[in-house]
Amino acid sequence: MTSSQPALTNIRRLQPLRILLAGTDRRFIRVTSFLLSRRGYVVVSTQPAHVLDAAERHRADVVLLEGSLSRTAAARRVADLASLAAAPAVLVVTDGDTGALNGVSAVEKWTPLETLVAEIEAVSLQRHPAADETLDL
């Protein structure tokens, strides 16, 4: 653990993270959905073409966008997701080139589950909730 990363081991969520898996690799989506569900996440999957509607409908906290899209299409989808009122955090899943999208969190497909979970938790802290999701103190 570095000094720039806070220790999050003692924090428990009141509600599980809502994760939206968007991709075309059905095997990857099925396996990842199963494994993340077993970890206590609420997981929904969709095709990349429907990711915006699904992110709004399911109020996704994190979107895992499978990177079988071209870099341009993936960047466009990430920008579209960022423009939503309750913008989810986005993690792009790539086939090996995690440095291809500058400024976007990426993880390699079929990475170990522990690594994927750590990345999901890290990007979820970057999420900007909508005004109706924040607490009034």
Whether 101 contacts 77, CB under 8 Å: no
Between 71 and 40, whose confidence is greater? 40
Q: Is 50 helix (H, G, I), strand (E, B) or coil?
A: helix
With tokens 């898996």, the residue in question is 21
Between 104 and 48, whose confidence is greater? 48
Question: Rounded to whole angstroms, how far apart are CA atoms 52 and 68?
Answer: 17
Q: Full-prediction pTM beyond 0.95?
A: no
Q: What is the mean pLDDT of residues 97-110?
A: 73
Q: What is the mean pLDDT of the chain?
A: 80
What percent of the chain shows pLDDT beyond 70?
Answer: 74
Integer-rounded Cα radius of gyration of the chain: 14
Contacts of 113 (CB under 8 A, 6+ apart): 35, 39
Under the banding of pLDDT at 50, 70 and 90, the label for residue 108 is confident
Q: Which CATH number fits domain 18-111+120-127: 3.40.50.720, 3.40.190.10, 1.20.1050.10, 3.40.50.2300?
A: 3.40.50.2300
Q: What is the mean pLDDT of residues 24-40?
A: 93
Nearest Cα to 23, choosing from 80, 75, 69? 69
Domain limits, the chain: 18-111+120-127
Q: What is the pLDDT of residue 35?
A: 95
Per residue in 44-102, pLDDT (tens digit) is 999 988 888 898 889 999 999 886 666 777 778 888 888 888 888 888 888 876 555 66
Q: Is 57 helix (H, G, I), strand (E, B) or coil?
A: helix
Residue 54: how many CB atoms within 10 A of its CB?
19
Q: What is the pLDDT of residue 62?
A: 92
